[in-house]
Structure 1
């Protein structure tokens, strides 16, 4: 018997979901929930809210599965839904986005750490969590989720230049946080 590829299994499960099979929906949820929860958590920065966003995103995905054409991977298609749900959740809190710029996380590391200091991912993660929602969302979408500023602008309903300036301010704020005594030591 020929072993099916991950993509073939995915396609098979998606087709079963389209036919309304609940067990297939659960299988799809199990395949993607952890990764999509992490995406949601990085954006909303609250465990309970991230869980709510995840559930909302999966409900939306299952309702709109007929629109998935397979042009992108299912994971990327689902990530867009999760990102939009997370951003909508933040918008519900009436968060105002300020403006953002640039990409290079290594610049942040060089400015915060000298050459003798090992860059610690945990320190960055904690510092990112301390950013205001608007900053954290743009920084996360750009650095961790790989969106460009045009895509961020589209998702957040802001201009590309607003995304760039928001990113720049987020980066500057991240540096300030990481220079605080609890991060320097």
Structure 2
């Protein structure tokens, strides 16, 4: 007798903003404004970390919200609305970088990675502003992978899929970005 395959249940998340999402589905402008008010600051921060330019991040944010409101009927509650919106922002930001003709991965440096060098991380005086400034100084490819991994919580498999590269390339870029970031912070 063949065992029956297990049916995969789709998880639905309880989202405290679901009534607003439902109102947006009905085309209510006040609900759209409230969603924008609730999420715009966090989503702007995601966009600016990836594109590294305030004006361009504002454009990405505007386009992402337009996409979200146009595609709100596609939201199936398999994640929170905020996570769904964040994915739209990230995709928009990455597309913006591609349109800027930015090479997201440094091909010359994408070879094998030597073991990670030991750094005196404790010897570096860190504060939030210094780290933010240092991250902004990273090349786009390094900054993108570093932000997606450290700040947005994606793993290397997900980053590789998002960027269309090998998982090892994502790991390589992360290690090199971290090394470069530490060098900048030591200056």
Find the partner of 1:39 among 46, 50, 54.
46
Does 2:160 correspond to 1:153?
A: yes
Cα distance in structure 1, aligned partners of 2:138 and 2:111: 13
Structure 1 residues 108, 130: closer, same or farther in 2, change over 3 A? Answer: farther
Could you tell me whether the CA contact under 8 Å between 1:100 and 1:163 is conserved in 2? no
2:70 is the counterpart of 1:63 = yes
Q: Structure 2: how far apart are the matches of 1:100 and 1:80?
A: 29
Q: Which residue of 2 aligns with 1:136?
A: 143
Root mean square deviation of aligned Cα: 2.3
How far apart in 2 are the matches of 1:123 and 1:43? 17
Gaps of 5+ in 1: 1-5, 181-185
The 1:34/1:48 distance shift into structure 2, 3 A limit, reads same
How many angstroms apart in 1 are the aligned matches of 2:112 and 2:176? Answer: 7
1:119-164: CA deviations, max 9, x gaps? 3222111111100111100000000110001111111111111111
How many residues are aligned here? 168
Instruction: Mark the CA change 1:109 to 1:137 in structure 2 (over 3 Å): closer, same or farther.
Output: farther
Asked whether the 8 Å contact 1:18–1:65 carries over to 2, the reply is yes
Aligned to 1:19: 26
Aligned to 1:79: 86
Greater percentage in helix: 1
Aligned counterpart for 1:123 among listed residues 130, 141, 144: 130
